A and B are shown apart, each in its own frame.
Chain A
Amino acid sequence: MHKESRIRDPLIDGNKTFHDITVEVAYPVEGKANKYWWTLFGLSVILMLWGFGCIAYTIGTGIGVWGLNKTINWAWDITNFVWWIGIGHAGTLISAVLLLFRQKWRMAINRSAEAMTIFGVIQAGLFPLIHMGRPWLAYWVFPIPNQYGSLWVNFNSPLLWDVFAISTYLTVSTVFWYIGLIPDFAMIRDRVNEKINPLKKKLYSLLSFGWSGRAKHWQRFEEVSLVLAGLATPLVFSVHSIVSMDFATSVIPGWHTTIFPPYFVLGALFSGFAMVETLLIIVRKVVNMEAYITIKHIEYMNVIILFTGSMVGIAYITELFMAWYSGVEFEQYAFLNRATGPYWWAYASMMTCNVVIPQLYWIYKIRTNIIATFVLSIFVNIGMWFERFVIIVTSLHRDFLPSSWTMFSPTFVDIGIFLGTIGFFFVLFLMYARTFPVVAQAEMKTILKSSGSEFKKIDNEQ
């Protein structure tokens, strides 16, 4: 008798071979789209066009077509901005931080998570642009050398930090994502028949940068991935910290809070993982990736959601405690008003969706149930949207002088633009799902247990 330690469950189900992986990952790219894809795509395009129409209307007429007023100068615009930026965070965490920590399970989901990051950041980036009164002058936020004398950007302004943070984030994420894609593009390139589809061949040849799979290529690939992971890791923390400083550096009670950077980062990861789940639960079904994105993956992500959700809950309670403990009446009122004022329902939604509901993941059955996970992930997405709405609108609507207190209600344009970004996001994601390998197949192959476990199984069967 020999003692045999428990072998971890494989991360890929279904006794795949290397070839199986290649074929299955390439399938959505090579095959024709099914009607689910077309329905979803059509719907998203309509939403997107509606949103673009609303944006054009806003730029043509003025920000007055939104529901803002003299007291509440930001509402859905910045709520959506922070929400989308937050969603992006999971992608970077999965691809960078989990890479550094050698969490192999990330390989099945990092490609899509990162795609989500980039598409999310694109949506997020729209809002600071269109929320400007004069968006045609948006380039003024860049420190462009000019001949207007001493005109220069204001480095004290958190909005300027945002500009740098987000542009850096978008750049690094895109590069990181792309590096990972090179071997996979090469795989598709190699499978395209030049005679039948010369354009496709040419395109994927270009995209794959002449990847040949040589050992040197692989070595460089690994090195660059590691370096980029190192670069991206601080970004996971910095971007949302800086976004939080838009609020934290102000004087408005409810915004002026030192807890904001960690609170925002955790919230971002929380919402990001929820969005990854929302997307992947659909994707794995639609493009038959159930073998790669397994219950195990979903469970892992649910554990992260449970953790970050609880941390966010602690942050909420800390805020309340600090408001009470500070003894500042404005601060105290701001939080009292959040919970019991006219926007109590937004606060209640936030608390329920973000703090209470994720606690269900303590239950094993729920955290390994796909439908429950999907429903819960939607709740978290909604909750995190409300979190930003609560922070922005309920802090502004009753600040220092009661004479200026008022409320906010969105117009059809506010709503249209938000729905439009959702449409735009899905348009990008659906197009991605049809043209890019949605799973990092090259990496997946490194964790395929092709020998030992196979033999073991044969042993067991005998």
Chain B
Amino acid sequence: MSNKKTYWKGVAQLENKEFANEIASNEFSEHLPVNDFLKEKKTLEESSTSRRDFLKFMGFTTAAATLAACETPVVKSVPYLIKPDEIIPGVPNFYATTIYDGRDYASVLVKTREGRPIKIEANQSSTSARSQATILSFYDSNRAKEPMFGGKSISWSKLDKQIKQKLSQVKDKKIVLLTASIISETTLDLIKKLSSKYSNFEHIMYDSVAYDALLDANLESFGLRVAPKYHFDKSDVIVSFGADFLGNWLSQDYSKDYVNGRNPKNGKMSRHFQIETNMSLSGANADKRIQIKPSEQAYLISNLYRALIGTDQIDERLKGVYQNLKKSKSSIVVTDSSNKDVQLIVNAINHRLGNYKKTISIDNPCFLKKGKTDDLKLLVNEMNSGNVQVLITNGVNPVYNYENSKKFVSGLNQVETFISCSLYNDETSSLADYLCPLHHNLESWGDANPSLNTYTLMQPTIAPLFDTRQFETNLLSWSGENNDFHKYLKSYWINKGINWNKALHDGYFKFNQSIRTANYRKSNLRNFEKVEVNRLELCLYEKIGLGDGSLANNPWLHELPDPITRTTWDNYVAISASTAREYGLMNKTVANGALNGSLVNLKADDVELKNLPVIIQPGQAKGTIGIALGYGRKKSGKVGDNVGFNAFPLISKKYVDIELAEGEHEFACIQLHHTMMGRDMVKETNLDKYIKNPSSGNYREKYYTYKGKLPSDQVSLYEEHDLETGHFWNLSIDLTSCTGCAECVIACQAENNIPVVGKEEMRKSRDMHWMRIDRYYSSEMTKQSAKKQDISSIKMYAQMEEPSEDPEVVFQPVMCQHCNHAPCENVCPVAATTHSNEGLNQMTYNRCIGTRYCANNCPYKVRRFNWFLYSENDKFDYHMNDDLGKMVLNPDVVVRSRGVIEKCSMCIQKIQALKLEAKKKGETIKDEDAQTVCSSACSTNSIVFGDVTNKESEVYKLRNDDRAYDLLDHLNVRPSVFYQTKVRNKQNA
């Protein structure tokens, strides 16, 4: 049967077949005038669509079609399926939390973008270079990532089960928990719970760099094993015997208080005496620095005490100290001595001077240091005698930082079960049976009690990156409880009546603690007599960057130039020039300007270290050497391994022998020239002169013009920028309050995605830091003395290059000065660097072709060139080449490509965000909101940023201060950055 069905295409086909057919046969339903058009030759000729045009259209269409067919790159960005309420892409969230790794403590605000933490800022306490840098350690791809048993991965539940079993098996022998100082009440509470659950449980705390002497002395004098609160701001005279309180001493940041007591505006400043061996940050800031050997310290302290009570003549060297202490109404005497008897004398001196009532509050103590090194020593002995069955460590690395590492390791062999809770699979953890990887602070809950009545909270700022757990969760689950530490912490504090949400929001709260306050108890003081030591003496210290070495896998800290030596990626034997000469040691500059140093073999009793590099350190006491701890890690990760050498084995050694070894060491110093060469980059005055004339020391050259003599800023051929309309951003740097702590350098590195270039490149003087802290030593040769002695210029300059062996030190942070008559701007052939109407010198990376003319013509040498591709390049294996490390990058700042110049932008991204915020609110910008990262990181407030068109602003006042001066004023480049003269408080200036 044939199918006769027809399907209509529409009603029209049914109703009017012909019309439908007609339509169907015509492709275009309406009449097209093609024939009319082509028929008439005339119109055709008049038409503007020629054959050429046709080809053009054709060509375009083909090209467009081809282009459209090309594949566009696929960018993996996954949008939120359900967007969390608090996250707005592009808008940062801040979380108040705490950073504490058993050593460095900071209450911080963590800036997160799209759920990932990218920057650490100060909250209740100030931050340090290390706490700023910990953000990078968080994204460290070398962190321990999963629980392990015997080197193989294991699940947490299995691990918990096995550990609980191991713990409950303990009968006669001991379970020992070894931790660093714990400042968390809840953690201590949980440890107590765990200890009650199992028999023979012992908890030992130790600090890698011990403060036992100080704590024990206070225990004896006051009945409290604590460090007191030192009010450096209230003290007229500060005497420090070796305590680097502006550096790492007690892991406390005293610089804010110190600087508050040294504001020349107030007409008075504390006078700071530093009596020390190594050139420390505190020594560099001191008004008077006295070099002593470590062996002389006890005698000098003892002598000072005896002189103060009138039983002895004061030592010649301490005359100034003695007189000032006698005269002053308030003072502080501190020491880093590891001898309890010496600390007791210091307590007696402070008591004698009445300081416990005024400047040192023992009843407001700090709890950051609790360790007992003796306990650790006992533990090691017990381990070796087989008395320890289970050892649990948390966040400590004794195999690296215990002085007798071998003994510890042999003890470990006697321990049946060794459980290590650690961020890294480090020297200690790699020997553990069980490795329990820890959360980073930024992933953890917690609380901290750094000082009396002060509590801060720790909260996660991101979900854990790896299969890790925090220590408290371990404690909970091993004591067989519900392992939700968050709930535990919350209820713990809510039960104590704390407003949890508010405390969490603020990051800190006050809670009254009761302590037994004790009055000063006199103890029997030892008398130390003068001793003659003719051996080379050793003085260990920690660097500002790396500290005790627990953050050794952090390339920012390795690349942070040491504020004193300006050396990166190394520790070394610091020695004075004259002692170096005795041993035939030298430092020399090679053809590309880099520094090479001799090598020595060092021997101290049973410890022998080979081929240690030597650096000649002005200000190092003669007959002594200084060595930094924290280097020479073997299992810290790809960055920190085998950088420098480990000095912890030397920690209790006093005398060493060194001998010249074959070869030379290649240093990576970023400052190879140490003196100011008679120039006045850092202008200086003394307090008494400042009081008489606030602009003393701030001499401004005047130049002959047809209008008479004028200062440089009133002579110009240039057209002025309009700096009255809109904002005019300025930055003031106070050289009196800058201690050189280098925190701003790390903050800048974190904010501005500054790459790490590694030791080789640093050695070639190719550091990428946008801001640096220049350090200058004084020289014995000055222009005045050359004139007096009639020395030729050639000889004078040659001698000026040599820093004094007892130098005065100045620090000067230098970043792009944002010149308003910028030498860099007019030499760029493609106008890639231009001036903004807000007084900023802007760098347009996209436009830069990399002629580097601007960098040559910059008198401050602050422009940095991307010699290589530093991101996504495995030759620069620091963090910008792996996906995890890249998460630390600030999305508001471009990652620069190779071949372009970069430099300080005065945090333009922050300025823009600020302006936008103000605009949305319809308000003007508040002065206190205007901050660069360096200004907000600076704990001493020596960097002040703001808008000078706002006459109320702090920076406007500073601009018009008598101390304000422009660096290289004679060039008349009119920088937007300016400095405040350094005021010292020397006695006989």
A interface residues, Cβ below 8 angstroms from B: 61-64, 67-71, 73-74, 128, 131-135, 137-138, 140-141, 151-154, 156-160, 163, 246, 249-252, 328-330, 332-333, 336-337, 340, 342, 396-409
Contacts and interface: CB of A to CB of B under 8 A. Distances in A.
Interface centre among A152, A156, A340, A400 (most CB of B within 10 A): A400
Contacts of A151: 831, 847
Interface string B863-874: 111111100000
A398 to B, nearest CB: 8
Interface stretch (B166-174, B336-344, B588-596): B588-596
B865 A70 contact: yes
Interface in B843-887: 847-853, 855-857, 859-861, 863-869
Interface stretch (B72-80, B83-91, B136-144, B820-828): B820-828
A386 B520 CA distance: 74
Given A73-B856, A250-B856, A333-B797, 19 more contacts: A70-B767, A70-B864, A74-B853, A133-B865, A135-B849, A137-B849, A140-B849, A153-B829, A153-B831, A154-B831, A156-B826, A157-B829, A250-B857, A251-B823, A252-B857, A330-B679, A404-B860, A405-B672, A407-B592
25 contacts: A63-B865, A69-B592, A70-B765, A74-B853, A74-B856, A132-B850, A133-B850, A133-B899, A134-B897, A135-B849, A140-B849, A141-B849, A153-B829, A154-B829, A154-B831, A157-B831, A158-B827, A252-B857, A336-B793, A396-B856, A401-B968, A402-B776, A407-B589, A409-B591, A409-B593
Given A333-B797, A401-B814, A403-B774, A342 B589 contact: yes
Contacts of A133: 848-852, 865-866, 898-901
A62 B829 contact: no
Contacts of B774: 401, 403
Contacts of A163: 829
Contacts of B830: 140-141, 153-154
A64 B763 CA distance: 13
A111 to B, nearest CB: 34
A277 B971 CA distance: 44
Contacts of B591: 407, 409
Contacts of A402: 673-677, 679, 776
Contacts of B829: 141, 153-154, 157, 159-160, 163
B671 A403 contact: yes
A239 to B, nearest CB: 17
A289 B591 CA distance: 45
A332 B678 CA distance: 12
Q: Which 6 A-B pairs give the minimum distances between C-beta atoms?
A: A133-B850, A133-B899, A64-B867, A407-B593, A406-B593, A403-B774
A64 B814 contact: no
Contact of A62 (B764, B797, B869, B968): B869
Contacts of B857: 250-252
Contact of A73 (B677, B812, B814, B855): B855
B194 interface: no
Contacts of A249: 826-827
Nearest to A163: B829
A62 B875 CA distance: 13
Contacts of A342: 589
B797 A401 contact: no
B678 to A, nearest CB: 7
B899 A332 contact: no
Interface-central residue, B589, B860, B864, B867, by most chain A CB under 10 Å: B867
B593 A397 contact: yes
Interface in B760-811: 761, 764-767, 772, 774-776, 793-794, 797-798
B772 A403 contact: yes
A408 B856 contact: no
Contacts of B847: 140, 151
Chain A at the B interface: SS class: loop
A220 to B, nearest CB: 38
B849 A134 contact: yes
Interface in B893-910: 897-901
B681 interface: yes
Contacts of B968: 400-401
A71 B865 CA distance: 10
B860 A400 contact: yes
A400 B859 contact: yes
B868 A64 contact: yes
Nearest to A328: B970
Interface of B: 589-594, 671-679, 681, 761, 764-767, 772, 774-776, 793-794, 797-798, 812, 814, 823, 826-831, 847-853, 855-857, 859-861, 863-869, 897-901, 968, 970-971, 973
Secondary structure at chain B's binding surface: helix, strand, loop or mixed? Answer: loop
B977 to A, nearest CB: 13
A131 B851 contact: yes
A271 to B, nearest CB: 23
B861 A62 contact: no
From A61, A73, A131, residue with most partner B Cβ within 10 Å:
A73
A246 B853 CA distance: 9
Contacts of A140: 830, 847, 849
A157 B814 contact: no
A396 B765 CA distance: 13
B592 A157 contact: no
A73 B593 contact: no
Given A62-B866, A336-B797, A67 B592 contact: yes
Contacts of B831: 151-154, 157
Given A73-B855, A157-B827, A407-B591, A68 B794 contact: no
Most buried by A among B675, B681, B826: B826
Contact of B861 (A71, A250, A328): A71
B861 A159 contact: no
Given A332-B793, A402-B776, A134 B859 contact: no
Given A140-B830, A332-B793, A70 B899 contact: no
A461 B925 CA distance: 104
A64 B826 contact: no
A68 B859 CA distance: 17
B899 A63 contact: yes
Given A63-B867, A132-B850, A406 B672 contact: yes
Contacts of A332: 793
Contact of A159 (B814, B851, B865, B867): B851
Contacts of B973: 251
B766 A251 contact: no
A134 B899 contact: yes
A244 to B, nearest CB: 14
A210 to B, nearest CB: 34
A157 B767 CA distance: 27
Contacts of B675: 402
A340 B847 CA distance: 40
Nearest to A324: B793
B850 A63 contact: yes
A151 B593 CA distance: 39
Nearest to A137: B849
A233 to B, nearest CB: 27
A132 B589 CA distance: 29
B593 A408 contact: yes
